[in-house]
């Protein structure tokens, strides 16, 4: 099937160079690249959602500010 697409000039030049170096047609290079991209998208969609392990706890200690890294470091060093 014929279709018209617009490509960035540098991208087209790279694709033509790859086609020449690999002995393939420009059409074949573009088709292969598109197939690879579509295959990666399908793999991503099938992945189950990421679940992070959690543990039960009592939450933050009173007075702990997670945005204050120097205070956290002092607190951790004091516990050692």
| 30-71 residue pLDDT tens | 999 999 999 888 766 666 788 888 878 877 778 888 899 998
- Specify the pTM: 0.52
Pair 11, 17: CB distance under 8 Å: no
Q: What's the pLDDT score for residue 46?
A: 67
Q: Hey, where are the domains in the chain? A: 9-46
Q: What's the pLDDT score for residue 29?
A: 97
CA atoms of 6 and 56, how far apart (whole Å):
55
- Other residues' Cβ atoms within 10 Å of the Cβ of residue 43: 8
CA atoms of 14 and 68, how far apart (whole Å):
49
Secondary structure element (H or E) that encloses residue 52, with its range: none
Which DSSP category does 48 fall into? Answer: P
């Amino acid at each position: 099937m014929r279709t018209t697409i617009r490509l960035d000039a540098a991208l087209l030049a790279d694709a033509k160079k790859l086609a020449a170096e690999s002995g393939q047609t420009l059409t074949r290079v573009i088709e292969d690249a598109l197939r690879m991209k579509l295959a990666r998208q399908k793999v991503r969609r099938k992945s189950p959602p990421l679940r992070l392990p959690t543990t039960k706890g009592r939450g933050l200690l009173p007075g702990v500010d997670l945005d204050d890294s120097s205070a956290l470091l002092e607190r951790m060093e004091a516990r050692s």
